[in-house]
Structure 1
Amino acid sequence: MSVLIFGHRNPDSDSCISATALAYLKQLQGVDAIACRLGEINTETAFIYDHFKVEPPVLLDDVKTQVMDVTYDRFPPKSPHDCVYDVFDVMEKEHMRTMAITQDDGKLIGIVTVQDIAMAMISGDIYRLHTSADHLCHVLNAQPVHLAKDEFQGQIRVVAYYHDNEKLREVLTPEYVIIVGDRFDVIEMAIDQQVELILVTGSHQIPEELIQKAKTHGVSLISCGLDTYTTAKRVSQCNYIDEIMTRTDLKSFVETAYLDVVIEEIKTTNYSNYPIVDKDYRYLGLISRRNILGSRGKPVILVDHNEAAQSAPGIEQAEILEIYDHHKIGDVATNQPIHFRNLPVGSTSTIIYLVFKEQNRLIPPDIGGLLFSGIISDTLFLSSPTTTEIDVKALGELEDYLGLNASEFAKEMFTAGTALGDSTIDELFYRDYKLFEVAGKQLGIAQIYTLDIEAIQRLEPEIHRFLKEMNRQTGQFLTMLVVTDIYAKGSYIYYVTKSQSVINQTFDRDVSQGSFIEGVVSRKKQIVPRMMMVISQNS
């Protein structure tokens, strides 16, 4: 199963780049890793990936456990024209309780259970036969003497014990398959009546004149190596399996179905196994309660976050293998110890760069270019208060390795990334939006970076309306938009809150809509920790 590597919702450049670079490193280690993202990429991130000609991470909707994530039984199916005897033989050898029946194109058309077979032999129409000459010869240890056709359909009648020829003549009609021993007079009478098929038991030599007469009358003769009793007991097992299989009201699941939905469905039924099919209804295997009890979620690696609210929907069902992050420790829980790399640096890209160095792995220029960009982006070109000497050193080494001018590239990248274009307030807000929770209160804080603050100020009425409506719909304690002017090295604050006092205490001044807070550029280090402390103290 592929390991999914992804960052937080509403991904920024550092989140996407960390996933891409780490997925590349894992692939070098022989891991089937896929870089993913939890939302659309912003203009800055698109510029970076286009500049270094790298495919962005694939979009991931959720990591909920699906049927395809479960190790279910992939028993080969049987054809509707396989016989009961052979199907049961396989089920007995493989300890199967359910067998899937498919068409030639692999599409599921029915199932048969051990109980179905048992009930067919006990209370079913054991006198009905619909099968092929091949099945009869195989199951009855028989040889064809003369075959007028390859397939037979009729009512089974054992005539070996009839002694009244007149009464016998009444039952020898064309729709019957008769079982007889060495009573050649009965065989001749059956040929004259043109029955469907004559099964001669005991491997008796059939006179040549009777064989010729059978050919003339178009009657099939098969010589069985078993005695009459055993032949009579086994012959109904020669039937095609589709004579007894369940065709309607099949309870099957598509492989993409969520496991929690499957579990709810299974609670309402009492089957042992359920067929799994693809989107075209082609059979894939059988799933049982045993398979579900032993199931594990999708294997994932988290980068640039470790809080459930910021992660993929269904993260609580996933199997988290590793985490690489530079944020505070969140609430993501695991069932067993994992590799958790958490460093107080300015970007997760810096952490991934260090991992490459520690493992003495050569970084290709395109991946190096991404990491170079990720560090510049998340540290605001080393101006963020989250920046450390480790970030400065990593960026310097990558700058030398790539032969790029970090200052010129940063200006080009930020110019491309902060262009507002025709973006709506909704699109701007969700470029980098994160949820936080403290003392039972939910905080929704978005941050955008721009070099065109005048355009933002023209949008202030729309920003106020958007924040007010979002706060009303979510019931959040605080809904905030932080607009950071990269070159002015400060941020404009727009918000709707249930406590103005919390805002004022967070920034240690009286704040109003659109206030510019000099020196505040980091949501992670300067806004969220301070606000959480204020709320906790006031709770």
Structure 2
Amino acid sequence: MKDFVYITGHKNPDSDSICSAIAYSELKNKTSNLKTIPIRLGAINRETQFILDYFKVEAPQLIETVKTQVSDLNIDNTVPISPNISVKSAWTIMKKHGVKTLPVVDENDSLLGVVSLSNLTSNYMDIWDNYILSKSGTKMENIIDTLSAKPLYMNEKDPKLKGKIIIAALAPNEVKNSVDKDDMVICGNREDSQITAIENKASILIITGNHSVKENIIELAKANSCSIITTPHDTFTASRLLIQSIPVKYVMTKNNVVGFNTEDFVEDIKEIMLETRYRSYPVTDKENKVVGSISRYHLISENRKKVILVDHNETSQSVHGLEDAELLEIIDHHRIADIQTGLPVYFRNEPVGSTATIVATMFFENGIRPSRKIAGLLSAAIISDTLLFKSPTSTEIDKFMLNRLKEIANINVEEFAKQMFKAGTSLEGKTPEEIFNQDFKCFTINDYKIGVSQVGTMYIESFLPIKESMLKLMDTICKEQKFNILMLMVTDILNGGSELLVSGNDKEIVEKAFNIKLTEPYVYLPDVVSRKKQIIPPITTAINA
């Protein structure tokens, strides 16, 4: 998908991240020449799945990285060949297309091997065995094609070639001593040599110079199951070309073939190319079907993936491989963090409660009325991120935009919010790992690594049975991933407060930030419901103090 622009929210995506990516993709496709697709960087949580199901919208595709892959390059179209075509045919195809390597595939286009110009020339130079046609499994049709021959009689009983190649240039008695059963005999228009070869049970008689063959000779050939073909070439040329009728499978490279997959990363294949230094390499897709070939010069003008970020602008929260991609835009409502770009980009950052509010504003700024589905997604995202305006991040702009969108989406905001929060906040059946990771963000503040997860619930008491297990999990994550502070906000949506669980060696920063004493690794913070506005700012102030 090298022609697309990916629009993505942050890792462990919440409803705002997913819904804003989908909506902004629709807006960009309507207002620009870009072809965009929304993607996600993690699993869909229960709340977001409820929203998508309610408005009958498919979840964005899961993408793990935007590092440049072989599929992003303008690789060469290739001409896969059958393993049974002749060496001469392969050589003709190479000359026609100006290539020196061809992939060899089976009937399903799956890669079997590669044949190169060096394979053809070196093997041709090494062939001095007059049993080469039988050893290589050459088929009669290859011989006819290579010699531009015309069949006069074809023995269908046993078409398999078994004998050696003989040129009947000697006297008939000498030919008799030279030709054995199943041999392939090249001769001119001498009838006595033709008869002798047939009577000696030759399997094929190749008549050169386009000479006619008498009917009695053909009848004798039929009686002795000897095929007869005529070629316009002289004896020297026919004998030289005959070797070129062997199938490419006999000379191709089939072991330790160096090739690449469309999913391979460019940074990985560079090293392999430097070590092997072949002219070109076959490229296959996920099903091992050949889709083209690649050479070193393709790496010079590699096409980086194009990305637009929504609902974040922090490297640790963004897609893997972002540094290798071309960042075009950022649409966000969080603090300005650490993402750097090589060129100027469109960056829209507003102090509102939801990225969806900004995206909705951009629809109306462009004179575009969002569809019912998109209006529904944007409404749900605003409700989710502002906790139906209980969050201190809420603004009058969020309220105004939700009032405008709800009419298009045809929803009762209060009833929809209750259903959405009920579907999304149930902790039943979830493991501590699932709960902790469903909305987790990592922040770097003055070399301090801070992790904050948030889970909302309408029944905070339902969290009590797994509280100790969660604290143990957080201690493990803190040690393994070297966090200075790790926090989990269990937010009471109905009453507007959060139970804050804390792990890490720098808990005094939390104490300083909220003017509390952590006698236990948890504390209830009344009226604190926003990670963005009520957790990160005081933590930042405490670290910088």
TM-score by structure 2 length? 0.88
Residues 431-475 of structure 1: per-residue CA shift (max 9 Å, x gap)? 211111122221111122233334445654344333323222222
Distance 1:126-1:117 versus aligned 2 partners, 3 A rule: farther
Summarize the alignment of residues 369-380 of structure 1 with structure 2, pairs less than 5 Å apart: 369-380=376-387
Q: Does 1:77 align with 2:85?
A: no
- Check whether the contact 2:475–2:504 (CA below 8 A) recurs between aligned residues: no
Identify which of 398, 420, 429 aligns with 2:405.
398
Instruction: Tell me whether 244-253 or 217-226 shows the greater mean CA deviation.
Output: 244-253
Q: Does 1:203 align with 2:210?
A: yes
Instruction: Tell me whether 418-427 or 72-81 shows the greater mean CA deviation.
Output: 418-427
Residues 318-352 of structure 1: per-residue CA shift (max 9 Å, x gap)? 44443322223333445554443333322111121
Amino acid in the other structure paired with 1:72:
I
Instruction: Tell me whether 43-52 or 15-24 shows the greater mean CA deviation.
Output: 43-52
Q: Does 1:155 align with 2:164?
A: yes
Distance 1:393-1:108 versus aligned 2 partners, 3 A rule: same
Match in the other structure for 1:25: 27
Count of residue pairs the alignment pairs up:
535
Offset of residue 227 of structure 1:
2.0
Task: Give the match's secondary structure for 1:327.
Answer: coil
Segments ≥4 residues shifted beyond 6 Å: none
- Name structure 1 gaps, 5 residues minimum: none
Q: Give, in whole Å, the separation in 1 of the partners of 2:53 and 2:457.
A: 20
Equivalent pairs: percent with the same residue? 35
Distance 1:388-1:211 versus aligned 2 partners, 3 A rule: same
Match in the other structure for 1:117: 120
Offset of residue 240 of structure 1:
2.0
Distance 1:395-1:279 versus aligned 2 partners, 3 A rule: closer
Instruction: Tell me whether 312-321 or 213-222 shows the greater mean CA deviation.
Output: 312-321
Match in the other structure for 1:530: 538
Amino acid in the other structure paired with 2:168:
V
Q: Give, in whole Å, the separation in 2 of the partners of 1:507 and 1:410.
A: 30
Summarize the alignment of residues 493-512 of structure 1 with structure 2, pairs less than 5 Å apart: 493-510=500-517
Task: Give the match's secondary structure for 1:492.
Answer: strand
Q: Does 1:193 align with 2:200?
A: yes
Amino acid in the other structure paired with 2:485:
L
Identify which of 230, 235, 238 aligns with 2:242.
235
Task: Give the match's secondary structure for 2:78.
Answer: coil
Task: Give the match's secondary structure for 2:10.
Answer: strand
Offset of residue 95 of structure 1:
1.8
Distance 1:484-1:279 versus aligned 2 partners, 3 A rule: closer
Q: Give, in whole Å, the separation in 1 of the partners of 2:382 and 2:264.
A: 39
Q: Give, in whole Å, the separation in 1 of the partners of 2:327 and 2:542.
A: 32
Task: Give the match's secondary structure for 2:122.
Answer: helix
Summarize the alignment of residues 332-343 of structure 1 with structure 2, pairs less than 5 Å apart: 332-334=339-341, 336-343=343-350
Q: Give, in whole Å, the separation in 1 of the partners of 2:387 and 2:459.
A: 16
Distance 1:402-1:210 versus aligned 2 partners, 3 A rule: closer
Summarize the alignment of residues 100-499 of structure 1 with structure 2, pairs less than 5 Å apart: 100-125=103-128, 127=130, 128-129=132-133, 131-149=138-156, 152-160=161-169, 162-163=170-171, 165-334=172-341, 336-456=343-463, 459-499=466-506
Offset of residue 17 of structure 1:
0.9
Amino acid in the other structure paired with 2:51:
I
Instruction: Tell me whether 46-55 or 333-342 shows the greater mean CA deviation.
Output: 333-342
Q: Give, in whole Å, the separation in 2 of the partners of 1:457 and 1:280.
A: 48
Instruction: Tell me whether 272-281 or 493-502 shows the greater mean CA deviation.
Output: 272-281
Offset of residue 476 of structure 1:
0.9
Q: Does 1:44 align with 2:47?
A: yes
Task: Give the match's secondary structure for 1:481.
Answer: strand
Residues 242-297 of structure 1: per-residue CA shift (max 9 Å, x gap)? 22222333334444444444445445434333333345443333333333444334
Distance 1:136-1:463 versus aligned 2 partners, 3 A rule: closer
Q: Give, in whole Å, the separation in 1 of the partners of 2:514 and 2:329.
A: 35
Residues 125-178 of structure 1: per-residue CA shift (max 9 Å, x gap)? 463225444433433233223333566454223333x35x44433222234322
Q: Give, in whole Å, the separation in 2 of the partners of 1:173 and 1:145.
A: 22
Instruction: Tell me whether 332-341 or 76-85 shows the greater mean CA deviation.
Output: 332-341
Amino acid in the other structure paired with 1:313:
H
Q: Give, in whole Å, the separation in 1 of the partners of 2:127 and 2:313.
A: 60
Distance 1:195-1:416 versus aligned 2 partners, 3 A rule: closer
Offset of residue 310 of structure 1:
1.1
Q: Give, in whole Å, the separation in 2 of the partners of 1:408 and 1:196.
A: 88
- Check whether the contact 2:356–2:378 (CA below 8 A) recurs between aligned residues: yes
Offset of residue 375 of structure 1:
0.9
Instruction: Tell me whether 338-347 or 228-237 shows the greater mean CA deviation.
Output: 338-347
Q: Give, in whole Å, the separation in 1 of the partners of 2:235 and 2:64.
A: 65
Task: Give the match's secondary structure for 1:174.
Answer: coil
Instruction: Tell me whether 329-338 or 10-19 shows the greater mean CA deviation.
Output: 329-338
Offset of residue 298 of structure 1:
4.0
Q: Give, in whole Å, the separation in 2 of the partners of 1:471 and 1:482.
A: 16
Amino acid in the other structure paired with 2:90:
V
Distance 1:196-1:409 versus aligned 2 partners, 3 A rule: closer
Distance 1:181-1:7 versus aligned 2 partners, 3 A rule: same
Q: Give, in whole Å, the separation in 2 of the partners of 1:354 and 1:473.
A: 42
Distance 1:340-1:92 versus aligned 2 partners, 3 A rule: farther
- Check whether the contact 1:126–1:236 (CA below 8 A) recurs between aligned residues: no
Instruction: Tell me whether 522-531 or 28-37 shows the greater mean CA deviation.
Output: 28-37
Q: Give, in whole Å, the separation in 1 of the partners of 2:471 and 2:333.
A: 32
